[in-house]
């Protein structure tokens, strides 16, 4: 009887309290593990967003660099076409015919044309002024303006300016031109246009035909 009283006595209460405390501790640990998992998922999502943003940023930078390079190449191509145009006297004689033939430009030197440059509109002469005979450059050895002497003018072959007969004007005129070159690259969608002004001394007949 005494042993039964000892087993069913007051000691049974603390045993129930210990079991309840262990259950609460396990619940707290489960909650902590759940919070840790949530925080880890949040950090993983943040890192994923940062990686995506870095990828987009690098792609954008590459596009910017590529577009800048394409624009610089297009500018160089247009400038080369303008230089080729104004270095020839044909554009002052037949500007429409010159504009009808686009200029093919090979930027990288691989033998393949990279850009096609057009003159649009055709080179335009907007001003002309007849050159006086006294302003001609007839100095040796170049005799640069000898072709500008009129039929009544005489060049004595000296290093001075010309001696003239009855005419005070030469048969040449200074003409002011605007040369506009355009290139549109279908691959990069780059479009560049440059206007170049140039003064050219031409025969008055060409000036009269092409200048307004």
Among 135, 117, 101, 127, CA closest to 185: 117
Name the residue with higher pLDDT: 17 or 172.
172
CA 59 to chain centre: 18
Tell me the C-alpha distance between 145 and 169, whole Å. Answer: 13
Q: Of all residues in the chain, what percent carry a pLDDT higher than 70?
A: 76
Q: What pLDDT, on the 0 to 100 scale, is given for residue 141?
A: 57
Helix/strand/coil percentages in the chain, nearest 5: 50, 25, 30
- The confidence score (pLDDT) of residue 127 equals 94
Over residues 104-138, the pLDDT tens digits come to 988 888 888 889 999 999 999 999 999 998 888 77
Q: Residue 6 pLDDT > 50, yes or no?
A: no
Whole-number CA gyration radius for the chain: 44
Angle of CA points 42, 46, 52, to nearest 5°? 145
pLDDT of 16 > 90? The answer is: no
The pTM is what? Answer: 0.62
Per-residue pLDDT band at 156 (split at 50, 70, 90): very low
The answer to whether residue 65 scores a pLDDT higher than 80 is no
**Residue 161: pLDDT band by 50, 70, 90 thresholds?**
very low
CA distance 27 to 177: 90
- If you search the block for the tokens 């002497």, which residue do you land on? 149
CA distances from 16 to 5, 12, 124 (A): 18, 7, 107
Q: What confidence category does residue 155 fall into, taking pLDDT thresholds of 50, 70 and 90? A: very low
Q: Is the dihedral of CA 77, 83, 86, 87 positive or negative?
A: negative
> With contact defined as beta carbons under 8 Å apart, do 131 and 107 qualify?
no
């Amino acid at each position: 009887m005494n042993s039964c009283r000892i087993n069913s006595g007051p000691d049974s209460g603390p045993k129930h309290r210990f079991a309840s405390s262990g259950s609460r501790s396990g619940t707290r640990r489960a909650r902590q593990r759940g919070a840790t998992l949530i925080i880890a998922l949040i950090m993983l999502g943040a890192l994923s967003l940062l990686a995506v943003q870095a990828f987009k940023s690098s792609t954008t930078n590459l596009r910017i660099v590529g577009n800048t390079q394409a624009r610089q190449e297009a500018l160089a191509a247009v400038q080369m076409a303008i230089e080729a145009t104004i270095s020839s006297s044909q554009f002052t004689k037949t500007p429409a015919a010159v504009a009808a033939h686009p200029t093919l430009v090979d930027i990288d030197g691989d033998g393949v044309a990279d850009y096609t440059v057009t003159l649009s509109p055709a080179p335009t002469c907007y001003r002309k002024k007849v050159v006086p005979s006294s302003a001609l450059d007839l100095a040796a050895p170049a005799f640069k303006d000898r072709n500008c002497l009129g039929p009544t003018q005489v060049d004595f072959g000296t290093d001075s300016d010309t001696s003239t007969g009855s005419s005070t004007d030469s048969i040449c005129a200074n003409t002011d031109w605007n040369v506009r070159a355009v290139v549109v690259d279908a691959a990069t969608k780059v479009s560049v246009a440059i206007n170049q002004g140039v003064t050219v001394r031409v025969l008055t007949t060409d000036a009269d035909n092409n200048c307004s």
